[in-house]
Structure 1
Amino acid sequence: MTIEPAAGAEKYLALDFANSAVAQPGGQFIDLLGTPSATNRWLTERGLAPAEAGIQEMCAAQLRSMREHIRSLLAARVAGIPALPAALSAVNDALSRVPTAALLHWDEKNGPYRAAACPPNEILDRALAALATNAADLLTGPDADSLTTCDSPPCSRYLLRHGRRQWCSTRCGDRVRAARAYARRTKLNAD
């Protein structure tokens, strides 16, 4: 299932990650990390894991847990309240798990390039570190003040507010405008 990215997700992978679980009207829920294969696909599409990574349920569960910690930190920032210590701990643990230096390599055809070595057992750690780094950059960077939640219930996605934009997607905006129009028509008919 494809979900329209929220404003800012193109700049911050952490927003895309936090929004990988979506509540929709009618009690529907979409989780792009709901199964190991879906998690592997999500990571691969974002360059965080090779297609053949073979993500297992234990790894998918760790990613879903990190998503909830990052969502908790985003919620604290939006609400202007202190962050939960467990969420900070989880992000800091992920940040400190892997070396950040990309090693120098040499390709006979294309010459020098830099890339982080990533044995298969470190794929998850590197993905978690990349997501945690991006979340920390968002929360401490110049865009942090634009962070907000979608104003279209039941949606619980995050976005970067630009101008008057209040919704994470065209779909959520259309839903709110349709509800307002329906409320106006109902009120006029009642009068």
Structure 2
Amino acid sequence: MSELVTAESALPPAPGAEAYLALDFVNSAIALPGGQFIDLLGTPEATNQWLTERGLAPADAGVQEMCTTQLRSLREHIRALFAARVAGLPALPAALSAVNDALSRAPTAALLYWDEKNGPYRTVPCPTNAILDRALATLAANSADLLTGPDADRLTACGSTSCNRFLLRHGRRHWCSIRCGDRARAARAYARRTQPKAD
């Protein structure tokens, strides 16, 4: 069984990840019970697979370690921005700078091209050497959309102490998965049972 399959079977996507790729991205580093840690961007091959599954790179992109390192760095900066937003603290200037740098890496305007058969069409250029820049810009833009959009107030960290994932809160739910909710409830029950009785 591969590391990627193990990680994805361990936890389903957090609430909100279907609407915001940025949540899926920051949650690609997963803390598991017992101090285990799985990084879905841990190797160039795993990173290429993660990007391909999300439409950010072709399967044969040939992601290199340098690309993987840049993506992991952006992920940590976005995590810092999410954590600051959840805690109501000012953002770290380095995190803002990293996201803005990623936002400026890819053109946002669709350029005009002309096909001899079908005539004019517009598309954003994405030459092979710009795949990483485009992925970084897309992930940064989605993060900025979440942080500045109507769902920003729903952004929260998972309420399970050993979990490092973020989610969009729905009602009273503060956990990224049923597993984390069950662990938090079990920990509270254990704490109640082991507290000394007051006389």
- What is the distance in 2 between the residues matched to 1:121 and 1:165? 42
TM-superposed CA distance for 1:146, in Å, is: 0.8
Matches within 5 A, 1:89-104: 89-103=97-111
Q: How does 1:1-191 map to 2 (within 5 A)?
A: 1=5, 2=8, 3-103=11-111, 114-186=122-194
Residue 113 of structure 1 deviates from its aligned partner by: 6.5
Q: Summarize deviations over 1:68-91 as a string: whole Å, max 9, x none.
A: 000000011111111111110111
What is the total number of aligned residue pairs between the two structures? 190
Q: Which sections of structure 2, spanning at least 5 residues, go unmatched? A: none
Once residues 27 and 174 of structure 1 are traced to their aligned partners in structure 2, the CA distance between those partners, rounded to angstroms, is 18
Question: Could you tell me the percent identity over the aligned residues?
Answer: 78
Query: Secondary structure at the residue paired with 1:135?
Result: helix
Instruction: Mark the CA change 1:99 to 1:28 in structure 2 (over 3 Å): closer, same or farther.
Output: same
Q: Distance in 2 between matches of 1:25 and 1:108?
A: 58
Name the SS of the counterpart of 2:55 in structure 1. coil
SS at match of 2:156: strand
Q: Specify the SS of the correspondent of 1:123.
A: helix
Alpha-carbon offset, residue 136 of structure 1: 0.4
Measured against aligned partners, the alpha-carbon deviations of 1:3-22 in whole angstroms (never above 9, x if no partner) come to: 31111111110011011001
**Deviation per CA, 1:84-107, whole angstroms, max 9, x where unpaired?**
111101110111111112345688
Secondary structure of the corresponding residue to residue 161 of structure 2: coil
CA RMSD of aligned residues (A): 2.5
SS of the residue 1:137 aligns to: helix
Partner amino acid, structure 2, of 1:179? A
Residue type of the alignment partner of 1:78: V
1:117 Cα deviation from its structure 2 partner: 2.0
- Give the superposition deviation at 1:178: 2.6
Letter in 1 for 2:62: G
Which TM-score applies when normalising by structure 2?
A: 0.87
Please tell me the residue identity of whatever aligns with 1:4: P
Amino acid at match of 1:88: L
Cα distance, 1:29–1:101 mapped onto 2, change above 3 Å: same
